[in-house]
Amino acid sequence: MDSLTIDSNSREKIVKEVSQNFFVEAGAGSGKTTMLVNRMVAMVEAGIPIEKICAITFTKAAANEFYERLRW
């Protein structure tokens, strides 16, 4: 399996497997925030109350970026 297939499968798993916790570690600009927002939307669409969802970032800047993207 090539690295692009592995990446694509991992991204799909992050969004679709909403009942499982994940730790995502990747370089800057790799799409971590986008995947987190997509996952949160999928979780809410699956009926998980937003009050039961927790996301942790390493910086306030990342948290603010996530919050802004999720609101829109």
| Average confidence (pLDDT) over 44-62 | 88
At residue 69, the 3 state secondary structure works out as: helix
pLDDT at 50 over 90: no
What's the pTM? 0.80
Structure confidence at residue 72 (pLDDT): 62
Structure confidence at residue 15 (pLDDT): 94
**CB-side neighbour CA atoms (13 Å) of 62:** 13
| Average confidence (pLDDT) over 14-23 | 91
CA–CA dist 72, 69 (Å, integer): 6
| Average confidence (pLDDT) over 11-34 | 90
pLDDT bracket for residue 1 (50, 70, 90):
confident
Domain housing 36? 3-71
Number of domains composing the chain: 1
Instruction: Assign 3-class secondary structure to 9-66.
Output: HHHHHHHHCCCCCCCCCCCCCCCHHHHHHHHHHHHHHCCCCHHHCCCCCCCHHHHHHH
